[in-house]
Amino acid sequence: MNIYLIGMMGSGKSTVGKHLSVMLGIPFLDLDHYIEVKHQKSIADIFKEYGEARFRELEFEALSQIETSSVLVACGGGIILDSRNRKKLQSSGKVVFLKASIPELTKRLGNVTNRPLLKEKAVRKELNHIWQKRKDFYEKTAHLTVDTKKRSPKEISEDIFNRIKS
Ligand code: S3P
């Protein structure tokens, strides 16, 4: 069974994922990084050159290629937009939603340079817009929701670890 971390950009999926994978003794895979290595291009360049729709296809392909064994996968924030991805996540592992408030995410993403969806518009406004479109998907896809408010990646990882083990 895999473990999938989902949540908005800046919710801490990669940082928590690295901690948690060590605690669980299983490999960690960052899906965006996997796509970048596979296609030899940064996510920003994929968006710029091919557009978001193409990126979503590459994201779907990448998720489909991950074996269901014991891997901890940090997913890109938009993974839940595609119903095929939601199905794969739910059926092949435990889905953990890292929930963070918009003000918190705005603070963390203040100086974005590598997130194509946040480049041009005011970060807080755009995050809010994205959140409204996605919140139901995050909540419905997750087996477990973890509040990240005022907690360190280590505390969040311990919480997930205990809840997975119990
Ligand atoms: C996206 C989130 C990014 C990356 C891409 C699109 C999104 O990943 O996949 O820029 O749609 O929310 P992170 O959530 O790891 O930043």
On the question of pLDDT at 30 being above 70, the answer is: yes
Using the mean position of ligand 1's atoms as its centre, give its distance from the Cα of residue 116 in Å: 8
Q: Identify the residue with better confidence: 13 or 150.
A: 13
Q: Is the CB of 117 under 6 A from ligand 1?
A: yes
On the question of pLDDT at 68 being above 90, the answer is: no
Using the mean position of ligand 1's atoms as its centre, give its distance from the Cα of residue 50 in Å: 15
Q: Identify the residue with better confidence: 57 or 118.
A: 57
pLDDT digits (tens, 9 = 90+) for 81-105: 999 999 999 999 999 999 999 989 9
* Distance between CA atoms of residues 62 and 22, nearest Å: 23
Residue whose pair of structure tokens reads 């003000």 in the numeric block: 103
* Mean pLDDT of all residues in 2-21: 97
State the pLDDT at residue 113: 63
State the pLDDT at residue 69: 87
Q: Is the CB of 75 under 6 A from ligand 1?
A: no
Strands 144-147 and 2-6: unpaired
**Position in ligand 1 atom list of the atom nearest CA 75:** 15
On the question of pLDDT at 73 being above 60, the answer is: yes
Is residue 47 classed exposed, middle or buried when 0-12, 13-18 and 19+ CB atoms within 10 A define those classes?
Answer: middle
State the pLDDT at residue 147: 96
Strands 72-74 and 93-99: unpaired
* Alpha carbon nearest to ligand 1 atom 2, residue: 77
* Distance between CA atoms of residues 163 and 157, nearest Å: 10
* Mean pLDDT of all residues in 37-55: 97
* Mean pLDDT of all residues in 43-58: 97
pLDDT digits (tens, 9 = 90+) for 104-132: 998 888 766 667 676 655 788 889 999 99
User: Taken in order 99, 4, 51, 81, is the CA torsion positive or negative?
Assistant: negative
